[in-house]
Amino acid sequence: MEPVTRECQAGLIRINEKTYNLIDTPPISNNMSMKDIRNNDGLKKITDIILACSYGIQAFIFVIDIKQRDNFSKIFKIIKAYLGHIKVLKHIIVAFTNLSKKHTENPLFPEVLNKEMRDILNSVDNRWFISPNPEIYKKDSKVVLDNMKKAKELISGFRSAYTTAMFNEIIEAENREAEARKLEAEARKAENREVVVPNDGCFNLDTKVMLINKKILSMSSVRVGDQVCCGTIDGQLKFSKVYSIAHRSFEIKTKFLKVEFETIDGIRKGSLYLTPEHHIFVNNNFDYAKNLKRFHKIQVLVGTRLFQAYVMNCSREYHNGYVAIFTRSGTIIANDVLCSCYAVCPPHQNLIHYSLLPLQLFEKFGESTIIGSNGEEIHPYLYFLMHVFLYLIFIKDYLIYNEVM
């Protein structure tokens, strides 16, 4: 079915003694690149509408033609990216069209949808209604009236509107991200490669940790034997002993990933600097920091509990110095973010943790496991494990190469 709307059309609708301006926009093409969404003519028209609404947008009705549903997954991603993933999902209602009589009158209709479509509904808190096929139902039929009533209730049910301020936040964030990429590209051209540490897993020296006495301390000041916050358990802060300053420098220029985050309720914001190869708890598992993407979920400490937060932006910056410390738990709360103490090797937290038991025993019967006055060298045991890891990768690549040949 060809879309009817070619240009934006407006009409008034009355819901619960309030008058709303209902604007019908042309369909969004799923052929556009995600990089070009700001230059798309159709989306620019939607931008003009948003900026012209002084009160804001009460609801976005995402119309899905059930006969062309395979195209809507990418379109939905485009809308989220264009209007702001966190904010806009709270204002979207899905309207299904072109349904058969059987599906229109099926009270369990969403259950017949594929997983991709059900995920879309779940992301908007299952706000949906059906626009019955006019070739099957008359305007005054009970099916039409019931769905119209449901649609009005969903529209009027939003406590607040999607505002121009929310939309402008997205534009500003994208501009900051573009500027950060530009600065990173310039920094790569200008950097002195002889003094940059590219791959080691460490934190920025100014990264904050909490000691057992609740004192907040820069990670550069942490000493072997200190007990630092490493997580929570049953609503209480959990602390773990530092048994090694595995790697540290106060001078070497280091490339860091700056991770900016915001809790889902928007109350708590912050940032964390760590090297790209470091492991961080994301989407309920440990992964390399370099794999973080916008709107990935990380764990952030608020009070005595860990809450989910969205990654809002990732950029590269260069700072002098780095530090890597090991706790007996293998985890650490750094700038309020739950992180692993480990890096470089594949992010299998338990496997790495058990492989470091000899290092913990060394600390228990020795005085300290920091190497050198400045700590720039890596502990011999870590050096050994790293070379074992590299050797295994070499063997794997060798076997794959011979299998292909």
Query: For residue 32, what are the β-bridge partners?
Result: none
Helices (H), 29-132: 41-52, 72-83, 85-88, 101-104, 115-123
Per-residue pLDDT, 196 = 43
Per-residue pLDDT, 2 = 43
Q: Under CATH, domain 196-379 is a member of which superfamily? A: Hedgehog/Intein (Hint) domain (2.170.16.10)
Q: Which residues contact residue 121 at a Cβ distance below 8 angstroms, ignoring those fewer than 6 apart? A: 94, 110, 113, 127, 128
Rg of the chain taking only CA atoms, in angstroms? 27
Per-residue pLDDT, 3 = 46
| Residue that has been written with the tokens 């626009």 in this structure | 131
Averaged in consecutive runs of 10 residues, what is the pLDDT profile of the chain (405 residues)?
52 76 69 62 70 76 77 74 72 88 86 83 89 91 92 86 75 74 67 46 92 95 94 94 86 92 85 94 93 94 93 92 91 96 82 74 56 51 63 52 45
Third-level CATH fold of 9-167? Rossmann fold (3.40.50)
Per-residue pLDDT, 285 = 92
Fold agreement (9-167, 196-379): no
Query: For residue 287, what are the β-bridge partners?
Result: 280
**Rounded alpha-carbon distances, angstroms, from residue 212 to 206, 223, 234, 306, 322:** 19, 13, 17, 17, 23
In sign, the C-alpha dihedral spanning 375, 381, 384, 386 is negative
Task: Rounding to the nearest 10 degrees, give the CA dihedral for residues 293, 298, 342, 216.
Answer: 130
Which residue in 224, 217, 229 sits closest to 245, CA to CA?
224
Does this model's pTM top 0.75? My answer is: no
Q: Are 253 and 196 in contact (CB under 8 A)?
A: yes
Q: Which residues contact residue 273 at a Cβ distance below 8 angstroms, ignoring those fewer than 6 apart? A: 203, 204, 206, 207, 256, 257, 258, 259, 317, 319, 335
Domains of the chain, by residue range, sit at 9-167, 196-379
Strand positions, DSSP E, 264-389: 269-274, 278-282, 285-288, 297-302, 305-327, 331-334, 337-343
Q: Are 376 and 249 in contact (CB under 8 A)?
A: yes
The SS3 of residue 270 is: strand
